[in-house]
Amino acid sequence: SQQGEEDPQALSIQEGENATMNCSYKTSINNLQWYRQNSGRGLVHLILIRSNEREKHSGRLRVTLDTSKKSSSLLITASRAADTASYFCATNQGAQKLVFGQGTRLTINP
């Protein structure tokens, strides 16, 4: 079964607005990663946050992690049309594989 669950499943906003996506998981993790997928093909790694970190920034991306609530959020500020994609969180629980959520489909309207 999927470990991470993204919320919402789909999000549609206007260009320039901020987009927030959430991810919940069930077991202890070493780290949590966010990936982007365009057109249902290869995934692109966005950011990794370790279990002892609470917040991390990369450009227009801000990720938070709350291990007490087993949740993470991804914030994309000043969204652009090119941000339209599916976003997945993935957790690593000590094994080598990543466990992915179902993803959030983000649409940025011009």
Binding site for other proteins (CB under 8 A): 2, 4, 30-31, 33, 35, 40-45, 48, 88, 90-92, 94-103
The CA-CA-CA angle for residues 79, 83, 88, to 5°, reads 115
Q: Is the dihedral of CA 107, 35, 17, 67 positive or negative?
A: positive
Are the CB atoms for 99 and 6 separated by under 8 Å?
Answer: no
Question: Would you say 36 or 108 has its CB closer to other proteins?
Answer: 36
How are beta strands 19-24 and 43-50 bridged, if at all? unpaired
Report the nearest approach of other proteins to the CB of residue 16 (Å). 28
Question: Would you say 15 or 56 has its CB closer to other proteins?
Answer: 56
Question: Would you say 50 or 80 has its CB closer to other proteins?
Answer: 50
Report the nearest approach of other proteins to the CB of residue 29 (Å). 8
Residue holding tokens 């320039």?
Answer: 16
Report the nearest approach of other proteins to the CB of residue 96 (Å). 5
Structure tokens at 37: 């997928």
Question: Would you say 15 or 48 has its CB closer to other proteins?
Answer: 48
